Amino acid sequence: MRRGPWIIVALAILTPAIAAGSVPAASAASAGGWTWPVVGPIIQTFDPPDTPYGSGHRGVDIAAAVGTTVVAPAGGTVTFAGPVGGYLFLTIDHGGGLSSTYSWLSEKLVRKGDRVLQGQPVASTGWGHPGAPIPHLHLGVKLDGAYVDPLSYLGPISLATFVRLAPFG
Ligand SMILES: [Zn+2]
C-alpha cells in the first residue's frame, strides 16, 4: 500500500493552517459554522468556472476512504438523493438560498424530502471523481444558484485530527 501521498497532502494542508493560526474569520457571519461532512485533507480546491458551462472545479474534494460516513454539515431538507448518469448524488437545501451537494456516493441514508440535522449521517462516500488517484468526497456549495467555495462554510479543523489521519506507522 502506497502511503507517501497521504503524508504529503496532510503536510500541504497543515502548513497554511499553522501559519494562519487556525483562527476562524470573524468578518463573515456564516463562515465556519458547518461540520465537515467527512474529515480529511482537501486534495482539490475550489476553482470556479469563468462561465456557467465552463471548465473548473465546482467544489472541493476531501480525501476519505470509500464507505466513509457523510454527515450533514448543517440542518436542512434533502432536495435530491439518487443516481445521475449511473452515479449517486445528494443535495441538501439549508435555506436562505444555500445548498450543498455530495457527489459520487456509494450509498444514501436519506431520501428526498427528509429533514436532516447538523451532524446526521446522510450517505457513504464512493470513489469520487472517476479516475481520481485518491478516493474522496466531492462537496459542492451553491448560494443563490451560484457555486461558492465550501471552505467558506466549513470551520477550522483541529491539528490533532490531521495527525491522527496521517498514516506514519
Ligand atoms: Zn471534485
| Beta-sheet strands, E only, within 13-125 | 42-44, 60-63, 69-71, 76-84, 87-95, 98-108, 115-116, 121-125
Distance 98 CA to ligand 1 centre (A): 19
In a domain, 118, yes or no: yes
Q: How far is the CA of 144 from the centre of ligand 1 (A)?
A: 20
Q: How far is the CA of 159 from the centre of ligand 1 (A)?
A: 24
Let me know if residue 18 belongs to a domain: no
Query: For residues 46 and 56, is the Cβ–Cβ distance under 8 A?
Result: no
Domain assignment of residue 65, yes or no: yes
Half-sphere exposure of 50 (CA within 13 A, CB side): 0
* Rounded mean pLDDT, 32-51: 91
**How remote is the CA of residue 65 from the centroid of ligand 1, in Å?**
15
Long-range contacts of 80-88 (CB under 8 A, 24+ apart): 80/112, 81/108, 81/110, 81/111, 81/112, 81/114, 81/123, 82/108, 82/112, 87/126, 88/123, 88/126
DSSP H or E run through 141: strand 136-143
CA of 140 to the centre of ligand 1 (A): 8
Please report whether residue 57 resides in a domain: yes
What separation in Å is there between the alpha carbon of 42 and the centre of ligand 1?
A: 10
pLDDT per residue over 54-77, tens digit each?
A: 889 999 999 999 999 999 999 999
Count the alpha carbons within 13 Å of 11 in the hemisphere toward its beta carbon: 7
pLDDT value of position 26: 34
Q: Is the Cβ–Cβ distance between 105 and 89 less than 8 Å?
A: yes
Assess if residue 103 is contained within a domain.
Answer: yes
Residue 131 in domain? yes
Number of domains in the chain: 1
What are the grid coordinates assigned to 150, written together?
A: 465550501
What is the mean pLDDT of the segment spanning 29-50?
Answer: 85
Distance 14 CA to ligand 1 centre (A): 20
* Per-residue pLDDT at 158: 58
Ligand 1 centroid – CA 45 distance (Å): 8
In a domain, 2, yes or no: no
Question: Helix (H, G, I), strand (E, B), or coil: what is residue 77?
Answer: strand
Cα 87 to middle of ligand 1, angstroms: 14
Whole-number Å distance, alpha carbon 16 to ligand 1 midpoint, is 21
How far apart, in whole angstroms, are the C-alpha atoms of residue 74 and residue 153?
A: 10
Judge whether 8 lies within some domain: no
Q: How far is the CA of 23 from the centre of ligand 1 (A)?
A: 26
The CATH number given to whatever domain includes residue 62 is: 2.70.70.10
Per-residue pLDDT tens for 126-166? 999 999 999 999 999 999 999 999 999 997 765 555 555 65
Domain span at residue 38 reads 34-152
